[in-house]
Amino acid sequence: MDIGHGITLVDLALFYKKHLILGDLQLGSEGVAHNQGFFLPKFQLQDILERLSKIFTQVKAEFLIINGDLKHAIGTILDQEWTDILAFFDFALQHVQKIIIVRGNHDLVIDPIAAKRNIAVVESYRVGDMLIFHGHKVVKETAPLLVVGHEHPAVSFKDKPGDKYKCYLVGKWKKSILIVMPSFNPLTEGSDITRDRFLSPYLKPGIGTFDVYVVEDKIYPFGKVQDLR
Ligand SMILES: [Mn+2]
């Protein structure tokens, strides 16, 4: 779906000037859960690669920007993360010329894995009018278009309170247009932003005027956040 400014929403990824942007994959979640005493079957990587290959058939991307939290374990690298992240890189590099990682709060030690495939890790990435950064803290730079992740936005509806749906949020941050991307991780839907509790400093109560785009089999514009309550 075209949302203006040269931006196309394609499933859980955003496409702008030959760049495909996605975030919050959190590869290694099953390994982290296992270490905490929970068993999760390992289907996350397979799900992600299948979803991504469909996206690659819909847009001609030359660059893949991972907007933070490619891995899940903070401060350590699990065996599963080495294997899954390298498999992810090798798959993606069959479709794009270059991968760039924008560091998220879970990516403190992503650098040794990225170095194996000569992939740069940056704090933010600028292309055209767009500045891409993870959004767990406020950055000094700005641009007409800001793209963040971290929040994993999802919405619920009054008639189906238990069900959450991943969504994009589009609104204003100072003089810029702010786009909050859904998480690409298949294990969780995300945090319900209709409850007014936010992870990112870029979201505050008062996001009622933000536009909601729900991601299901396609993208569904759902009006404003305030109309969902
Ligand atoms: Mn994060």
How is the chain split into domains, by residue range? 8-228
Quickly list DSSP for 171-221.
Answer: EEETTEEEEEPPP--TT---EEGGG---SSTT--TTGGG-EEEEESSSEEE
Reported CATH class of domain 8-228: alpha beta
- The residue among 92, 87, 27, 86 whose CA lies nearest residue 63 is 92
CA of residue 124 to ligand 1 center, whole Å: 14
CA of residue 128 to ligand 1 center, whole Å: 24
Q: What is the pLDDT of residues 8-66, one digit of tens each?
A: 999 999 999 999 999 999 998 888 788 888 877 778 899 999 999 999 999 999 999 99
Tell me what the pLDDT averaged over the chain comes to.
Answer: 93
CA of residue 5 to ligand 1 center, whole Å: 26
pLDDT at 105 over 80: yes
CA of residue 70 to ligand 1 center, whole Å: 9
The pTM assigned to this predicted structure is 0.94
CA of residue 139 to ligand 1 center, whole Å: 14
Q: What percent of the chain has pLDDT over 90?
A: 74
CA of residue 132 to ligand 1 center, whole Å: 14
The stretch 201-217 carries a mean pLDDT of 90
CA of residue 196 to ligand 1 center, whole Å: 18
